[in-house]
Homo-oligomer: A and B are copies of this chain.
């Protein structure tokens, strides 16, 4: 799979300003199905005792120990333990502060559609967590940890009554470990993050043109020649599968065939459709190397390899990719074209269908079901497979209409560095869907996709989190839970919890900034650089591939674009504030003061950078245009704010001049953009045309802003 698919850029959603939102829901994310918040509280102290009722197993006990340890690290409290190191449990539920009531065990490894429901009752004297399975208990622990909070009188849980279960049974995160290798600890800490937001499928994209990232004992040439030594050993895979299972997460491996296969044919050129030799790719685009579906040795190898993998991964599904076959090498091979003719396969697409059917049969023999990207739709495959839609919203409709269970990934491409709010509103089955109820029932859920063209093990957390929590909520919570502002409010809390669980989406940044600034930067230089970085966003991965000439897998990902994070909170809050300001009818002088102060601070930082690091630090010289653009933006904003406060529009022609400057500032520089450009355009229009504001109705003004400001 590659990431540069043609999607229409959605409008940046503008929620209400966080400052204005009065009554947010409790900080739980994903939002539970039913939640009744009381007005009381249950103080959390180390005097608590815990009782387990009903089924009592190792998964629940281990999950409880992990949850309590996280509570300890956050609160500083130490709960009592037995000499064995286990937490002490007592049998007497009526006296216990915390009662866990589990009706029965989960599967040894989690399976699709397993019951994840739970109920949670927090009263002023007791917590009772009930679930039909251990899996539900685990989900309940995560909710409890998010409810845990503090004020001046100490740590407590609010009294609350929750009945919860997921909307979709397949809530996944794909991690591409092939284009940029991601070692074991990246996977493990992201499994912790997934569990925290109740995601339940880790989709490991293990093979690509750039690498085979898993040890094959049957075909060791695969990882020996196709990995630069960077691959998971089978021991590590077992560790990943076990770690995931403990957290109620399935692991679905992907072995992409017949295309995206340069690494396969690097090891086995005799299986290719064109003569070798091959070597693994160091850049990314769609490459031509492809397995030869007319070669019986291909199926023999796949049978052996997939058999080996089937034993390693307990999940019922194996992903075979199946995307982006160019057909160039097939068209250029007379033997293959003859085979197509002799077997009535019509064309290259027919040949791929034939290939898919044979791989389907191989998987079936090994007891596995097939999942593939939406290109496999063209194959004449039996029901029971899963189609993963990535190319457009119509993919999901197509595949469910043909009766296939389906997953949505289109709109969940987190490598595009788009705002969480956009992903959040990307409902697999939106209100007013044209799908029939039966078709709707075929939608299993979706997966966020972390394609790794432009992420290292240092930056990957910042591309996954916290935005993927918004996708997790989309897939767990009801369709009607879709208030973007409320989501962002809760996201800021969940982001803290993710950080506490070991994710590095925040902590990676300061070391990266220090490295970029170099040894001679003063503290004030670093502070200025932090401000600029907070206002930047990295361009999408597909755009960076275009912008960054001469890039390769070896390009160090320690640049400004790597320090910048998607979905700038600073820019978003500013945009939300401006959106309110430009729609207001009242005197906005007092409102403008805070904006003006903020702009002055940003301008000061930009000026310091222009004269300092952008001159002296070789790694920041390319950022000089960004500092200059930020100065220009702040100046536009100050003039506009002053004009609004004065109730006098700037002189004629001013707006056009600002548009020119805004267009310059909107250009990407060093693979980053300044998302502040859009709100400043709005602000400029509102200031220049403030006379029309009084003449127009609210609706007409809104329309005018959209037309001229966006």
Show the binding face of A for B, using Cβ within 8 Å. 27, 69, 72-78, 81, 83-85, 149-155, 185, 228, 235, 279, 282, 493, 496, 499-500, 506-508, 510-511, 514-515, 518-520, 550, 552, 554-556, 558-559, 615-619
Q: In the complex where A235-B235, A506-B510 touch, is A619 in contact with B76 (Cβ < 8 A)?
A: yes
In the complex, are the beta carbons of A279 and B83 less than 8 A apart?
yes
How far, in whole Å, are A228 and B65 apart by their CA atoms in the complex?
12
In the complex, are the beta carbons of A75 and B619 less than 8 A apart?
yes
Chain B residue nearest in CB terms to A82? B279
Q: Which residues of B contact A78 (CB under 8 A)?
A: 550, 552, 554-556
CB of A322 to closest CB in B, whole Å: 28
How far, in whole Å, are A77 and B506 apart by their CA atoms in the complex?
25
In the complex, are the beta carbons of B149 and A519 less than 8 A apart?
yes
Q: How many copies does the complex hold?
A: 2
| 5 shortest interchain CB distances as A-B pairs | A72-B556, A73-B556, A83-B279, A85-B228, A152-B616
How far, in whole Å, are A84 and B224 apart by their CA atoms in the complex?
12
In the complex, are the beta carbons of B556 and A618 less than 8 A apart?
no
Q: Which residues of B contact A75 (CB under 8 A)?
A: 556, 618-619
Q: A499-B515, A506-B514, A507-B510 are in contact. List 12 more A-B contacts (CB 8 A).
A: A27-B519, A76-B559, A78-B552, A81-B282, A84-B279, A85-B282, A150-B518, A151-B520, A152-B615, A152-B618, A496-B514, A507-B508
Q: Which residues of B contact A619 (CB under 8 A)?
A: 75-76, 150
Q: Which residues of B contact A154 (CB under 8 A)?
A: 618
Q: Which residues of B contact A554 (CB under 8 A)?
A: 72, 78, 81, 85
Query: What would be 29 A-B contacts, judged by CB atoms less than 8 Å apart?
Result: A72-B556, A73-B515, A75-B556, A76-B556, A76-B559, A76-B619, A81-B552, A81-B554, A83-B279, A84-B279, A85-B282, A85-B554, A150-B618, A151-B520, A151-B616, A151-B618, A152-B615, A152-B618, A153-B618, A155-B618, A185-B185, A235-B235, A493-B519, A496-B514, A499-B514, A499-B515, A507-B507, A507-B510, A510-B510
CB of A135 to closest CB in B, whole Å: 22
Q: Which residues of B contact A228 (CB under 8 A)?
A: 85
How far, in whole Å, are A345 and B256 apart by their CA atoms in the complex?
72
CB of A550 to closest CB in B, whole Å: 8
Q: Which residues of B contact A511 (CB under 8 A)?
A: 499-500, 506-507
How far, in whole Å, are A152 and B510 apart by their CA atoms in the complex?
22
How far, in whole Å, are A154 and B616 apart by their CA atoms in the complex?
9
CB of A6 to closest CB in B, whole Å: 29
CB of A669 to closest CB in B, whole Å: 15
How far, in whole Å, are A84 and B185 apart by their CA atoms in the complex?
26
CB of A88 to closest CB in B, whole Å: 12
Chain B residue nearest in CB terms to A86? B228
How far, in whole Å, are A235 and B234 apart by their CA atoms in the complex?
13
How far, in whole Å, are A472 and B150 apart by their CA atoms in the complex?
44
In the complex, are the beta carbons of A76 and B558 less than 8 A apart?
yes
How far, in whole Å, are A279 and B86 apart by their CA atoms in the complex?
13
Chain B residue nearest in CB terms to A279? B83
How far, in whole Å, are A499 and B517 apart by their CA atoms in the complex?
14
Q: Which residues of B contact A185 (CB under 8 A)?
A: 185
Q: Which residues of B contact A508 (CB under 8 A)?
A: 507
CB of A555 to closest CB in B, whole Å: 5
How far, in whole Å, are A511 and B76 apart by their CA atoms in the complex?
15
CB of A26 to closest CB in B, whole Å: 12
Q: In the complex where A507-B510, A618-B154, A618-B155 touch, is A558 in contact with B73 (Cβ < 8 A)?
A: yes
CB of A499 to closest CB in B, whole Å: 5
Chain B residue nearest in CB terms to A185? B185
Chain B residue nearest in CB terms to A155? B618
How far, in whole Å, are A282 and B74 apart by their CA atoms in the complex?
21
Chain B residue nearest in CB terms to A499? B511
How far, in whole Å, are A464 and B511 apart by their CA atoms in the complex?
18
How far, in whole Å, are A555 and B73 apart by their CA atoms in the complex?
9
How far, in whole Å, are A499 and B514 apart by their CA atoms in the complex?
10
Q: Which residues of B contact A514 (CB under 8 A)?
A: 496, 499, 506
CB of A652 to closest CB in B, whole Å: 41
Q: Which residues of B contact A77 (CB under 8 A)?
A: 556
Chain B residue nearest in CB terms to A552? B78
Chain B residue nearest in CB terms to A72? B556
Q: In the complex where A515-B500, A615-B152, A618-B150 touch, is A74 in contact with B510 (Cβ < 8 A)?
A: no
Q: Which residues of B contact A72 (CB under 8 A)?
A: 554, 556
Chain B residue nearest in CB terms to A496? B519
CB of A38 to closest CB in B, whole Å: 20
Q: Which residues of B contact A520 (CB under 8 A)?
A: 151
Chain B residue nearest in CB terms to A233? B235
Q: Which residues of B contact A559 (CB under 8 A)?
A: 76
CB of A634 to closest CB in B, whole Å: 20
How far, in whole Å, are A519 and B24 apart by their CA atoms in the complex?
15
Q: Which residues of B contact A556 (CB under 8 A)?
A: 69, 72-73, 75-78
Of the candidates A155, A499, A519, the one having the most CB atoms from chain B within 10 angstroms of its own CB is A519
Q: Which residues of B contact A507 (CB under 8 A)?
A: 507-508, 510-511
In the complex, are the beta carbons of A74 and B515 less than 8 A apart?
yes
Q: Which residues of B contact A618 (CB under 8 A)?
A: 75, 150-155
How far, in whole Å, are A616 and B151 apart by their CA atoms in the complex?
6
Q: Which residues of B contact A617 (CB under 8 A)?
A: 150
CB of A523 to closest CB in B, whole Å: 11
How far, in whole Å, are A483 and B127 apart by their CA atoms in the complex?
61
Q: Which residues of B contact A515 (CB under 8 A)?
A: 73-74, 496, 499-500
CB of A549 to closest CB in B, whole Å: 12
Q: Which residues of B contact A73 (CB under 8 A)?
A: 515, 556, 558
Q: Which residues of B contact A518 (CB under 8 A)?
A: 150
How far, in whole Å, are A493 and B519 apart by their CA atoms in the complex?
7
CB of A646 to closest CB in B, whole Å: 31
CB of A650 to closest CB in B, whole Å: 33
CB of A185 to closest CB in B, whole Å: 6
CB of A379 to closest CB in B, whole Å: 34
CB of A48 to closest CB in B, whole Å: 15
Q: Which residues of B contact A493 (CB under 8 A)?
A: 519
